[in-house]
Homo-oligomer: A and B are copies of this chain.
Amino acid sequence: MKNTYTERLDSVLNNGVTDEEFHEICNAVHPTILASRISELEPERAKFILDKLSIDQVAAIFSHFRKVQSREIAALYPDEVLADIIEKMPHDDRVDLVRQIPVEQRETLLSKIQKVEREDILRLSRYEEETAGAVMTSDYMVLTENMTVEEALNKIRKVAKDRETIYNAYVVHETKRLLGIVSLKDLILFAPNARISEVMFTDVIFARVDEDQEIVANRLSEYDLLALPVVDEHNRMVGIITFDDVMDVRKEEATEDFHKMGSVGLMGVSLKDASIPFLIMKRVPWLLVLVFMNIFSGAGIAYFEDTIEAVVALVFFLPLLIDSGGNAGSQASTLMVRALATGEVKIRDWFKLFSKEIFVAVAIGIIMGLAVSLIGIFRAGPEVAVVVSLTMICCVMVGSLLGMSLPFLLQKFNFDPATASAPLITSLADIAGVVMYFSIATWYLSDKL
């Protein structure tokens, strides 16, 4: 089986074609493919292509553009047409598009949009970024308790075409309170004259509108749900979060954590779309913070200058020892940051994991100490070897316990645990490592100094 339509699309975009053939192809191809191919064109050429399509198709394509493309192409449309497109877009995606429009243009644009839709956009855009409210859509199926299954199915049939998702319907009281949930599968299976109140599932898994998007995303995934209803502080239903949005949230959150772990600032745009000054701005601040911290390692070295001058051979082992502490710490913090992010580990687990980490760190320290003692004897004789081995055990222990505890501490005080990045842990472990190394050396080799 070949995706022949997709292949024909590629040749059509390059060579031009009759409008009729173009329509046939665009009807058969998934909007994601259309969006990805069209976004590779120059904005003007993209607009020229989009103009051949229906408003519904353009709306579907717009909801698959990346931020930069949607901003650039939207800028080419007159407000009236853009307003029509926005009205047809999925409720959550259009809010994202409106956010891309320059503020000065936004008000005139919104004034061209129908009142109901405009109010919906304003309502959804009021929620804080990264909360359930900011990710949800207001486009969902509502049923009432005393409907029959047949009535419910008829209602669904009537609106299905314009609904993003119809596979779950939400049973809502007249006060808008969420009472239960019915799946289309259940509706198909139950007798047509059964009441919705008998059919609905009442132990609903839901989200609060102000909950963090990552927590909500993990919940939907944990329960294998197609969508999660969102309620406000009065338990009134205000929207749903669908599985595809959750996938995007989780990808975004994982990317954010990755970047933090590499001590890169919050990006928010694709690496391909990021400009050079933007990348510099996102990378320099952390590098400067880390350099500043490294001054303390330097100060430690300066403080022990006499020891170093007496036994220059010690410098040979310096990178090896302080790096090992940093590496063991990076391992521990990586394990912890990820486990906290997926919800697999909670703050209350700290003590249990800390106790386990002590054993792990001691064992790793001893193994590493033995390994390095061989290098020590070979390079600088038994006395330095003892110093190096002892330091290695201390470095690995301090690094590991620091690496595993810092993410918890950050989470406890409502910072992102991923801030405990490998470079940060490495710098902290370096400072501790320098001090421990030369203290142990000064003490053990005191007869040589």
Contacts and interface: CB of A to CB of B under 8 A. Distances in A.
A221 to B, nearest CB: 4
Contacts of A161: 189
A364 B156 contact: no
Interface stretch (A43-51, A105-113, A352-360): A352-360
B1 A338 contact: no
A298 B284 contact: no
Nearest to A423: B327
Interface string A299-327: 10110010011001001111110111011
A345 B271 contact: yes
B184 A276 contact: no
A100 interface: no
A286 B161 CA distance: 55
B258 A337 contact: yes
A224 B32 contact: yes
A375 interface: yes
How many copies of this chain sit in the oligomeric assembly? Answer: 2
Interface in A321-344: 322-324, 326-328, 330-331, 333-339, 342, 344
Contacts of A353: 271-272
Interface string A271-298: 1100010011001101110110011011
A313 B164 CA distance: 67
Contacts of A262: 261, 330-331, 333-335, 422
A190 to B, nearest CB: 11
A372 interface: yes
A41 interface: no
Interface in A1-33: 1, 3-6, 28-30, 32
A222 interface: yes
A395 to B, nearest CB: 11
Interface string A241-252: 001101110110
Interface in A413-449: 421-423, 426-427, 430, 434
B319 A294 contact: yes
A279 B361 CA distance: 10
Given A188-B160, A287-B368, A423-B330, A320 B295 contact: yes
Majority SS at the chain A contact face: helix
Interface in A226-282: 226, 231, 235, 243-244, 246-248, 250-251, 254-255, 257-259, 261-264, 267, 270-272, 276, 279-280
A342 to B, nearest CB: 6
Nearest to A278: B360
A363 interface: yes
Interface stretch (A78-86, A124-132, A201-209): A201-209
A115 interface: no
B178 A288 contact: no
Interface of A: 1, 3-6, 28-30, 32, 153, 156-157, 160-161, 166-167, 177-179, 184-185, 188-189, 201-206, 221-224, 226, 231, 235, 243-244, 246-248, 250-251, 254-255, 257-259, 261-264, 267, 270-272, 276, 279-280, 283-284, 286-288, 290-291, 294-295, 297-299, 301-302, 305, 308-309, 312, 315-320, 322-324, 326-328, 330-331, 333-339, 342, 344-345, 349, 353, 356, 359-360, 363-364, 367-368, 371-372, 375, 379, 396, 421-423, 426-427, 430, 434
Given A226-B243, A276-B360, 19 more contacts: A1-B204, A251-B342, A255-B338, A262-B334, A271-B345, A272-B349, A276-B359, A280-B360, A283-B360, A294-B319, A294-B320, A294-B324, A298-B320, A298-B379, A301-B316, A323-B423, A327-B423, A330-B423, A421-B422
Give 9 closest A-B pairs by Cβ, nearest first.
Answer: A262-B334, A422-B422, A294-B320, A224-B244, A297-B319, A298-B316, A327-B423, A258-B338, A221-B247
11 contacts: A29-B203, A30-B205, A30-B223, A166-B188, A243-B247, A247-B250, A263-B330, A271-B345, A291-B368, A323-B426, A422-B423
